[in-house]
């Protein structure tokens, strides 16, 4: 399947990379639908989920998602893009059969987009990298839950039809708890219970609907909207977040492989001072360093995927992979721009976009510094639990 995905992305998807429907807030749904129609015809739509509903292993997923990422439009066309890919994984793990039939099936079919409502506006003092700060609440009212709050950086909220909302709930023991709710966004938008305040102007532009600030007011949902069990939202977040971090690494590794190919081609064709650019050490060495970083990123992804495939949550491992891969990919994208000079900062190739997307990736799904801080805490815990060093 990976080879088929790569052929489709290289031969078909890349021809859409200058399509005017690629807007500042992401490709239009019209373009996404067209691309998914082509992927469906080619047999490469949602390739990480098999016909029986089972999910590829993480190692197998890496083989497919890296290749879908060879174009910034590839994951959208193949239906392997965030947040849908992570939401499909979570609903598949925690959803009831009725929820899978109603919400997951159209997502797998590529006819529905979704959004994951967790992050909150910093100005409100809400949850960002620390979900325990969550201010959005859900309270029981008879056999309904009533949800109120504001969310920020909600990718794809504009145009999405399926929503997973994470809210603080009271389980009666005084401890901080959260619950996830699976909701019909069309209905919520029509009633005004969920309202998009604005779509943010961000450095990246690969995801349909952009990243929105959203207000939730008196959103009433029945008990069957709870995803999994009540008050288990933080646990389900970990189920989703580790594979989702790794999936981001996979997709953007594919994009950086392609950016490196473009920069390499440029350096071999472009001449300056009597010889091809690649024959100048300053340029040749940058491409050599790219090759090293690309391989290291690939190996980190493979290692973390193997850990997740054992059934482990892989929280620390996914943090390490996310830091190592995102930082390596940033170096690669930056070198590609530098090698290509003025051409590298134009929209004539995807290199400029890849640079912007990867810069955002260093923050999305947890900034590098938050992951390092989390790892440092683990180091301290492990030290305290270990036998004293003689």
The answer as to whether 386 is a domain residue is: no
> What phi, psi does 168 have (nearest 5°)?
-75, 135
| Same domain assignment for residues 210 and 252 | no
- Whole-angstrom distance, CA of residue 338 vs CA of residue 71: 20
CATH number at residue 319: 1.20.140.10
Contact 197, 214 (CB under 8 A): yes
Contact 263, 350 (CB under 8 A): no
Structural domain harbouring 54: 2-81
Pairing mode, if any, of strands 162-169 and 114-117?
Answer: parallel
| Same domain assignment for residues 295 and 263 | yes
| Same domain assignment for residues 275 and 365 | yes
Give the pLDDT confidence score for residue 390 in this predicted structure. 57
For residue 125, list its beta bridge partners: none
| Same domain assignment for residues 155 and 241 | no
The answer as to whether 344 is a domain residue is: yes
Closest by CA position to 176, among listed 94, 117, 119, 233: 233
For the entire predicted model, the pTM comes to 0.93
Give the pLDDT confidence score for residue 173 in this predicted structure. 83
| Same domain assignment for residues 220 and 252 | no
CATH number at residue 156: 2.40.110.10
| Same domain assignment for residues 220 and 119 | yes
Give the pLDDT confidence score for residue 336 in this predicted structure. 98
Give the pLDDT confidence score for residue 1 in this predicted structure. 78
- Considering its fold, how many domains does the chain have in total? 3
| Same domain assignment for residues 142 and 280 | no
The answer as to whether 101 is a domain residue is: no
Which of 179, 208, 231 represents a domain boundary (last residue)?
Answer: 231
The answer as to whether 353 is a domain residue is: yes
CA distances from 308 to 219, 229, 244, 296, 303 (A): 35, 23, 11, 19, 9
| Same domain assignment for residues 124 and 214 | yes
The answer as to whether 246 is a domain residue is: yes
Each residue's pLDDT expressed in tens, for the chain with a length of 390 residues: 789 999 999 999 999 999 999 988 999 999 999 999 999 999 999 999 988 888 999 999 999 999 999 999 999 999 999 999 999 999 999 999 999 999 999 999 999 999 999 999 988 888 887 888 899 999 999 889 999 999 999 999 999 999 999 999 998 887 889 999 999 999 999 999 999 999 999 999 999 999 999 999 999 999 999 999 999 999 998 888 889 999 999 999 999 999 999 999 999 999 999 999 999 999 999 999 999 999 999 999 999 999 999 999 999 999 999 999 999 999 999 999 999 999 999 999 999 999 999 999 999 988 999 999 999 999 999 999 987 665
**How many C-beta neighbours within 10 Å does residue 81 have?**
29
**Secondary structure element (H or E) that encloses residue 292, with its range:** helix 281-308
Helix axis angle for 315-340 and 233-269, nearest 10°, is 20
Question: pLDDT by residue (tens digit) across 321-341?
Answer: 999 999 999 999 999 999 999
| Same domain assignment for residues 238 and 227 | no
Collect all residues with Cβ–Cβ distance below 8 Å to 209 and sequence separation of at least 6. Answer: 25, 26, 113, 115, 155, 156, 157, 158, 159, 160, 199
| Same domain assignment for residues 213 and 256 | no
Handedness of CA 261, 264, 268, 272 (dihedral sign): positive
| Same domain assignment for residues 304 and 322 | yes
Question: pLDDT by residue (tens digit) across 203-245?
Answer: 999 999 999 999 999 999 999 999 999 999 999 988 888 899 9
| Same domain assignment for residues 209 and 147 | yes
**Secondary structure element (H or E) that encloses residue 217, with its range:** strand 211-222
The answer as to whether 98 is a domain residue is: no
Contact 160, 113 (CB under 8 A): yes
The answer as to whether 321 is a domain residue is: yes
Which of 201, 231, 261 represents a domain boundary (last residue)?
Answer: 231
Give the pLDDT confidence score for residue 174 in this predicted structure. 77
Which of 33, 64, 81 represents a domain boundary (last residue)?
Answer: 81
Most distant CA pair in the chain, distance: 80
The answer as to whether 102 is a domain residue is: no
Contact 164, 182 (CB under 8 A): yes
């Amino acid at each position: 399947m990976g080879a088929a995905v790569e052929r489709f992305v290289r031969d078909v998807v890349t021809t859409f990379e200058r399509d005017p429907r690629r807007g500042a807030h992401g490709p239009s749904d019209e373009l996404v639908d067209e691309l998914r129609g082509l992927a469906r015809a080619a047999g490469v739509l949602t390739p990480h989920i098999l016909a029986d509903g089972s999910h590829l292993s993480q190692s197998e997923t890496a083989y497919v998602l890296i290749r879908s990422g060879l174009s910034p439009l590839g994951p959208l066309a193949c239906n392997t893009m965030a947040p849908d890919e992570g939401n499909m994984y979570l609903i598949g793990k925690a959803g009831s059969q009725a929820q899978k039939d109603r919400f997951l099936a159209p997502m797998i079919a590529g006819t529905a987009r979704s959004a994951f409502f967790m992050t909150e506006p910093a100005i409100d003092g809400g949850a960002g990298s620390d979900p325990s700060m969550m201010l959005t609440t859900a309270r029981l009212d008879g056999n309904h839950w009533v949800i109120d709050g504001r969310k920020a950086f909600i990718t794809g909220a504009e145009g999405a039809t399926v929503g997973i909302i994470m809210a603080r709930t009271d389980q009666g023991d005084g401890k901080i708890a959260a619950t996830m709710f699976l909701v019909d966004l069309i209905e919520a938008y029509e009633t005004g219970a969920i309202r998009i305040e604005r779509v943010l102007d961000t450095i990246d532009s690969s995801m349909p609907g952009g990243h929105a600030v959203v207000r939730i007011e008196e959103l009433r949902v029945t008990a069957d909207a709870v995803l999994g069990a009540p008050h288990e939202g933080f646990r389900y977040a970990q189920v989703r977040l580790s594979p989702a971090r790794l999936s981001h690494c996979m997709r953007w590794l594919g994009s950086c492989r392609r950016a490196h190919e473009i920069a390499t081609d440029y350096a071999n064709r472009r001449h300056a001072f009597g010889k091809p650019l690649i024959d100048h050490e300053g340029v040749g060495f940058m491409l050599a360093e790219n090759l090293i970083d690309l391989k290291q990123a690939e190996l980190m992804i493979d290692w973390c995927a193997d850990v997740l495939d054992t059934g482990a949550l892989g929280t620390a491992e996914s943090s390490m992979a996310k830091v190592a891969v995102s930082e390596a990919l940033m170096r690669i994208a930056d070198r590609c721009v530098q090698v290509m000079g003025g051409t590298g900062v134009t929209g004539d190739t995807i290199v400029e976009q890849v640079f912007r997307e990867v810069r955002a990736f260093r923050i999305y799904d947890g900034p590098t510094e938050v992951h390092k801080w989390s790892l440092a805490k683990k180091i301290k815990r492990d030290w305290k639990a270990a036998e004293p060093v003689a």
